[in-house]
Amino acid sequence: MNIKIRSEKISDYSSIAIVNYEAFMGLNTCKQYVSEPVMVDLLRNNLLFDPELSLVAEVEGRVAGHALFSPFRFIVSGNVQPGVMLAPLAVKPEFQNKGIGSALVEEGHRIAKEKGFTLSLLCGHDNYYPRFGYKTRMFSLTGIKAYVCFKDFDGEGISERAVRECDIDWITEAWNKGHSSDSLAIFPGKNISDWSSYSKRSRCSVITKDGKVLGYVRVADSDIPDVRELLADSENIPDILAYVAWKKYGRAEGEIKVAGTAEKFSSIVSENLTVADDIAAYSAYMIKVLDDNSPVVEYCDGVEKGIIKPGVISFHPVFDLDD
């Protein structure tokens, strides 16, 4: 079977959507929808999107597979690094187990390395991706469990609104201030679409109090609210977390997951706000080093040896579609 790997063309968009639909619907016939075709479309809107890293596999003139390597600016051990996220990788069911997925991944790595990217990150099957050099348990999507108890909080004067174009400068400045020294972080981007909601179960909001901006929060609704990004000065964080609890539980008391570290929150711990480590670096959370001379090597080695805690990261809001 002759497999041709090439970069996508606009004329491939429909075929790529079909590949992703059939591949991911086939994984679970009980699913009522698949998010991957929409996810691919939205990731093309990122300012760093590179069509040369959106790869298709052609077999006898038919698009049989697709792999998307999305460029992002990463922080690795406090250093800015160019990296890619591999998601999704899809092969039509009738073409699976024929080496197409492997060919897509290997070509994607080759192109990304040639372009100067230092790492590839993904969330995937730990019995498949390590064969390509991916290291498992490299990061976590949760960092702490916070417990808030503000008995006198009534939410008066505090409200939330959608992100506006005029917010982007201070949001990105707050992100850089909050994450520039992280062991691992992914910068979403500079478009308003990089800071907006894509799922009915999540919301991206600017929180205000008496008309004054307190900060930005991205929270996914679940049994325990899941705060995937929180950008605010430390003195405003208690009010924002109290508000998140109040919206969920009807009172400013309860547990909240936060994609942050206990060290970052140590300065605001009080009798009304306590935190506990909740880092969960599952085997599906993987990184491949693309540049052996980059800080990514030291980070991955440190995590493997237990010298460095796995970084706590937030994916781009587009990935909330998978919830």
**17 CA to centre of own chain:** 21
* Block residue for tokens 């916070």: 146
**What pLDDT does residue 28 have?**
61
**Range(s) of the domain holding residue 204:** 144-277
Please give the pLDDT value at position 154: 75
The whole-number pLDDT of residue 29 equals 58
Residue keyed to tokens 């539980």: 249
Shared domain check, 89 and 67: yes
Give pLDDT, residue 322.
Answer: 80
Domain check: are 116 and 163 in the same one? Answer: no
Residues 210, 104 within the same domain: no
Can you give the pLDDT at residue 32? 67
How confident is the model at residue 30, as a pLDDT?
58
Do 133 and 158 fall into the same domain?
A: no
Distance CA 152, CA 141 (A): 32
- For 103, the enclosing helix (H) or strand (E) is helix 100-114
* Domain shared by 252 and 306, yes or no: no
Residues 258 and 304 in one domain: no
Cα separation, 231 vs 272, whole angstroms: 20
What pLDDT was estimated at residue 25?
87
Q: Do 154 and 107 lie in a common domain?
A: no
Burial of 287 (0-12, 13-18, 19+ CB in 10 A): buried
Q: How many domains does the chain have?
A: 2
Do residues 221 and 112 share a domain? no
Whether residues 170 and 269 share a domain: the answer is yes
Q: What is the pLDDT along the chain (323 residues), one digit of tens a residue?
A: 799 999 999 999 999 999 999 999 876 655 667 899 999 999 999 999 999 999 999 999 999 999 999 999 999 999 999 999 999 999 999 999 999 999 999 999 999 999 999 999 999 999 999 999 999 999 999 999 999 999 888 778 899 999 999 999 999 999 999 999 999 999 999 999 999 999 989 999 999 999 899 999 999 999 999 999 999 999 999 999 999 999 999 999 999 999 999 999 999 999 999 999 999 999 999 999 999 999 999 999 999 999 999 999 999 999 999 87
Q: Give 224's DSSP letter.
A: S
| Residue found by looking up tokens 């605010």 in the block | 232
314 & 267 share domain? no
Do 97 and 178 fall into the same domain? no
In the structure encoding, which two tokens stand for residue 36, read together?
A: 């991957």
| Residues 152 and 246 occupy one common structural domain | yes
275 Cβ contact list (under 8 Å, min separation 6):
144, 145, 146, 147, 258, 262, 265, 266, 269
Would you state the pLDDT for residue 31? 60
Contacts of 143 (CB under 8 A, 6+ apart): 258, 259, 260, 261, 262, 277, 278, 279, 312
* CATH number, position 200: 3.40.630.30
